[in-house]
Every structure is written in C-alpha cells, then in structure tokens.
Amino acid sequence: DHIFDETATNELVYQELASDIVKKAMEGYNGTVFCYGQSGSGKTFTTDELRRLALQEVLEYIENCPQREFLLRVSYFEIYNEKVTDLLQDNKELTLREDVDKNVLLDGMHEAFVKTSNQVLELLNQGNERRKISETKMNARSSRSHCIFRIVVESRMRGSEENIDISGVLYLVDLAGSEKASANTGDRFREGVLINKSLLTLSLVIRQLAEDSNQHISYRDSKLTRILQNALGGNSKTAILCTVSPGNVEETQSTLRFGQSAKRVLNKPLLNEVVTDKALLKRHQKEIETLK
C-alpha cells in the first residue's frame, strides 16, 4: 500500500504500483492494474503513462531475456452503456461467453501480434480515436467508457526439449468517471446511470469479496466485473490506483472507502503453464523410471 502526493511522478507511481505486476506477467502470471476515482481526478492521464511505461518494460524484458522465445498479442476494447466494443475493429460489438473452464472470452475480438513499441503505439492511437469522450458537469473532457488494454505474453525456452509454454495476461484498465447521473441531462444522464451501475457493481463485488469469500459474488451483474473476474479475488496479481481530487469531498470519501475495501480482497495468482503432449509424455516417462 502506498500514498502518492501531488509531487509524485508517473515513473514513481509505475515503479511502486505496476512494475512488479508487469514483470510477473512476463513470467507467466496474470496481472491487472486499474485506476478508480471521480471524473477529472487524473485517471486517464495516469493510465496513459502507466500503459506507456508497461509497454517499455515488456519490450526491454524481452530484449534482456534471449534464452526465451516470446509472442505478444494486444487487444483494446471499451465498455460503453453496457456494450463491449472493439477499439481496433471500427467499434465492432463483442459478445461475452465462457469456455469450459469458466473463463470469460470476447467473441470476435481482434488481437494484433506486435514486436515493436511503434506498432503498439499506432494501435493505441487508432483505438483512442474511437473512444467515447464527451463533456460532463464534472469534467470538460470526460471519458464515458471503461477502457481496457490487454497484453497476452506467451514464451518458451529456446531449444528446450520440455516444450512447456508459459502465458501471462496483463490488463491495464481506465475506468469511466463516477459523477452522479443527476448532474447531467439527456444522453449524459443515461450514460451516467449505466456508468454508476457498473461502478456500483464493481464496489459491491469488492465488498462481497472483502467480507466473506464463501458468499455469492455478483460478477454477472455487469460486463465490467465479468471481464475483470480473475482480477477480483481470482487468478491474478492486481493493483488498484484510487485517484482523488480536493474539489469534491463526497466523491473523495467514496473513492477512499472503495480502496479500503479493496485492500482486504485476497487473490490467488497461479503460474499459467501449458504443457505440450511431448513434454507430458517425457514427464510420465521420468515418473515411471523413478518408480522402477
């Protein structure tokens, strides 16, 4: 846990908050970093910088780890008015479904294979142009959607006979601002209702996990919590940055209560190994030899 004051640089925030999670994603663990707070408190500004620094660390890690082969896939999507759209595919609407292991998948989502920072930055620029941004009472340029950038990292040892792949998934999440729906009118009011519902569900899930892990958890009550299910009490290392502003005491108190509950949630991060048939056969042969 850490408190950053107004003098903290983005580099300091990244090192304290996200760097370890990014490194663990490179080593085969899932990771999530997201920013929560009121509109105008600096979420998007901070998330943009954390994303840039994370990409820089990912590419530097690959360069400094020649003994492994890496494959990077990135995707970029938003949740707007409870609809999930692909920011890399002309806002194509995506459908959520579950696989046999109850993992949430996004049907039809575009995943781009990347090798350089320029490739990633170009994709980010394309996606950012498609984001839902509009004026609200609390912020003249407020992001009206939850925006999620996902990096999938797969790797294996070069020349290894084991053929064991490891796979980490890293989510970098910029949540929509949380101004009250009553402060806006028309389309902004309807957006505010859905955004607040989504954030209230997130707060509810956090509270349920913090209070009693055996009770029913309301993941299915919003698209956001379904997609982030692993990050909330599941197989992921997760960091939450709560941003506050001196301009609104009530919103600041609400954000701090959210952070207080989130601190009590326990995740269960596991190494994601994919063992090939060849490697599995080799393991069984070794076990048989040991038993003889």
Between 153 and 281, name the one with better pLDDT.
153
> Is residue 193 predicted with pLDDT exceeding 50?
yes
pLDDT at residue 177, rounded to an integer: 79
Strand partners, 94: 84
Find which of 20-24, 203-207, 208-212 is predicted with most confidence, using mean pLDDT.
20-24
Mean pLDDT of 253-260: 92
> Is residue 141 predicted with pLDDT exceeding 50?
no
Give percent above pLDDT 70 in the chain: 83
Mean pLDDT of 181-198: 64
Distance CA 202, CA 277 (A): 40
pLDDT at residue 182, rounded to an integer: 54
Cα atoms in the Cβ-side hemisphere of radius 13 Å centred on 265? 28
User: pLDDT band at residue 140, thresholds of 50, 70 and 90?
Assistant: very low
pLDDT at residue 38, rounded to an integer: 86
Annotated binding site for ATP: 37-44
Annotated binding site: 37-44
Residue at token pair 């509270």: 207
Give percent above pLDDT 90 in the chain: 62
Lowest mean pLDDT among 103-107, 180-184, 286-290: 180-184
Domains and CATH numbers, the chain: 10-291 (3.40.850.10)
Between 262 and 141, name the one with better pLDDT.
262
pLDDT at residue 192, rounded to an integer: 62
Written as six digits, the tokens of 175 are: 């949540």
Across the chain, what does the average pLDDT equal? 86
> Is residue 185 predicted with pLDDT exceeding 60?
no
The CA dihedral of 25, 31, 36, 39, to the nearest 10 degrees, is 50
> Is residue 278 predicted with pLDDT exceeding 70?
no
User: pLDDT band at residue 73, thresholds of 50, 70 and 90?
Assistant: very high
pLDDT at residue 39, rounded to an integer: 82
